[in-house]
A and B are shown apart, each in its own frame.
Chain A
Amino acid sequence: MPQFLRVLQQQRWMDLQHDWLGEDEIPADPVGDLRTTDNKMSVWMLAEESLNLPRIVSALGANRDKLDKLDLALLDSDELSAIGIQTRQSEGDSADEMLNRSFHYDLVEISADKLVNLAKAIIRANRFERVQREDVKRYIACAVKNGWVQEDALRLKSDEIKKVRQFLDTDNAQGGTHD
């Protein structure tokens, strides 16, 4: 069963218990973390056994200004189907072209009601993951080294790219353990 990954900010999903919430209600902050454009939402499909996860992390991490932690939530396709949300493959906008072509999807035709249900499904599934910044840097360095991402495609600020280069230099000096 395909699994999809959505980038979010986990801190907005931590404080879910409030006295003022009614039965089956969730706070609004998590919903606000699920941004849509043209009623669509960008997600990435995980390959079997999550083999492409480091590659997705590096592609997403390289698309930012600064090296930072990366928070993710995972959902099965049947959990999406259960709330009436469809997926459609589309071209991604990351630094990794192969990923953009093969693993990027949109959740489409998302109504406001479906958006709330999606937030509830993510909370129910409770499969949040955080990739620490050091690991994001390691994955980006690995992606550059393996040619998944070209160095000139990194959107990081120059001082952040310098940190990736330093990591690569150290790694090369130690015999290259991140192939």
Chain B
Amino acid sequence: MTVASMIPESIESLTVLEEDSTAVNRQETYNITASPALDRIASLENSLWAQEKLFEDWRVGPTRSTTSARREESETAINRMQDISEAIKSMWEALFRRATSEIFEDDMQGSSITRPPAASMAGDESDTSSIRLLGMSVEAVEREIAALFRRAASEEFEDGMESDFITRLLAVVRIYEATGMLSIQDLILGGKATDEASAEALRWLGDMEHEPTYQYRRWLLEKALISCSSLIVRDGANVGLAFMNDPHSVPVLKRAIEETQSNVFPKVLSQTLLQLENTAGCHSS
């Protein structure tokens, strides 16, 4: 099987994705509900993971060739995978813009928008009725979260001890949900936050009990586990996945174990893998 033959299904999905994404971007129609859109993103992400794995197998496998045709095929495949990743990100962004614009539409009908004081954001996590009053632009949410991460750079984190950074960060995620998650994703996966702050955020995002952001949080943890270069960040994702205790993450953990060069890291990954496999065993028995 060649890489080229693996591509079409994803590219077809990508086309659909781009159409949806453009429609949402233009704010012409919001007739796709969040749930099917999220399902589509999840499905695309699954095919992307599978494709990356197949590509890796092809790359290191016995059929590897150094001919220019094969190199070109390889580069094309990589570019296409990157395109799909970008499209997934655009889809998330479009969804969040839509969610935010709905808040603003409510506001135009009479609700007042006031920027919340930081203390009330941190303390008033469960009051969903306050979302309208807390309505901020996407840019303002991004600034708020970026500022939290900046301050966290000088905070010292200790296992088992509460931190101001996490208390506030989780409150922001509860209030702004996916919009907040997008900013966190950008800071962590983009390497724009310190390793310690990213790791701490990932750990406790895994511990959070918040259904609306569950899939996104799990996706971010898995993505960080595989793609971040810092072992500190990757271990944060590993601990977050252990906290989440979702057996769906087993394949990602296995992949991380296979790909890790470190002496120490595979051991802690294996502990998480074992825990998740045991959980899967409990659920199936």
- A binding-site residues for B, Cβ under 8 Å: 9-15, 61, 64-71, 126, 128, 130, 132-134, 157
Contacts of B211 in A (CB 8 A): none
Cα of A118 to Cα of B130 in the assembled complex, Å: 52
Contact between B275 and A134, CB atoms less than 8 A apart? yes
Do the beta carbons of A132 and B242 come within 8 Å of each other?
A: yes
Does B162 contact A66, Cβ atoms closer than 8 Å?
Answer: yes
Knowing that A14-B235, A70-B159, A132-B275 are A-B contacts, what are 7 other residue pairs whose CB atoms are under 8 Å apart, sorted by A's residue number? A11-B199, A11-B232, A15-B262, A61-B160, A68-B159, A130-B267, A130-B271
The answer, yes or no, to whether B264 is at the interface (CB within 8 Å) is: yes
A-B contact pairs, 26 of them (CB 8 A): A9-B158, A9-B159, A10-B235, A11-B199, A11-B232, A11-B235, A11-B236, A12-B232, A14-B231, A14-B232, A14-B264, A14-B265, A15-B232, A61-B160, A64-B159, A64-B160, A65-B160, A66-B160, A66-B162, A68-B160, A70-B159, A71-B159, A128-B264, A128-B267, A130-B271, A132-B242
Chain A nearest Cβ from B192, distance in angstroms? 19
Check: B154 CB closer than 8 A to any chain A CB.
Answer: no
Query: Which residues from chain B contact A9 at a C-beta distance below 8 Å?
Result: 158-159
Q: How far is the CA of A134 from the CA of B276 in the complex (A)?
A: 12
Of B162, B262, B268, which one neighbours A65 at CB under 8 angstroms?
A: B162
Those 6 A-B pairs whose CB atoms lie nearest each other, nearest first: A64-B160, A68-B160, A11-B235, A14-B231, A15-B231, A65-B162
Question: Interface residue tally of chain B, by bracket?
Answer: 20 to 34
Interface of B is mostly: helix
In the complex, what residues of A have CB within 8 A of residue B236's CB?
11
Chain A residues near B231: list those with CB within 8 A: 11, 14-15
Chain B interfacial positions (CB closer than 8 Å to A): 158-162, 199, 230-232, 235-236, 239, 242-243, 245, 262-265, 267-268, 271-272, 275
Least CB separation from B238: chain A residue: A11
Q: Which residues of A contact B243 (CB under 8 A)?
A: 133
Chain A residues with CB under 8 Å of B271's CB are: 130, 132
Q: Does the CB pair A64–B161 fall under 8 Å? A: yes
- Residues of B near A126 (CB, < 8 A) are 263-264
Residue of B nearest to A13 (CB): B264
Expressed in whole angstroms, the minimum distance between the Cβ of A119 and any Cβ of chain B is: 14
Instruction: Compute how far the CA of A61 lies from the CA of B239 in the bound complex, rounded to whole angstroms.
Output: 16
- Nearest CB on A from B210, distance (A): 15
* Complex Cα–Cα for A69 and B236 (A): 11
Residues in B neighbouring A64, C-beta threshold 8 A: 159-161
By CB atoms of chain A within 10 A, which of B242, B263, B268, B275 has the most? B268
| CB closest residue in chain A, given B229 | A15
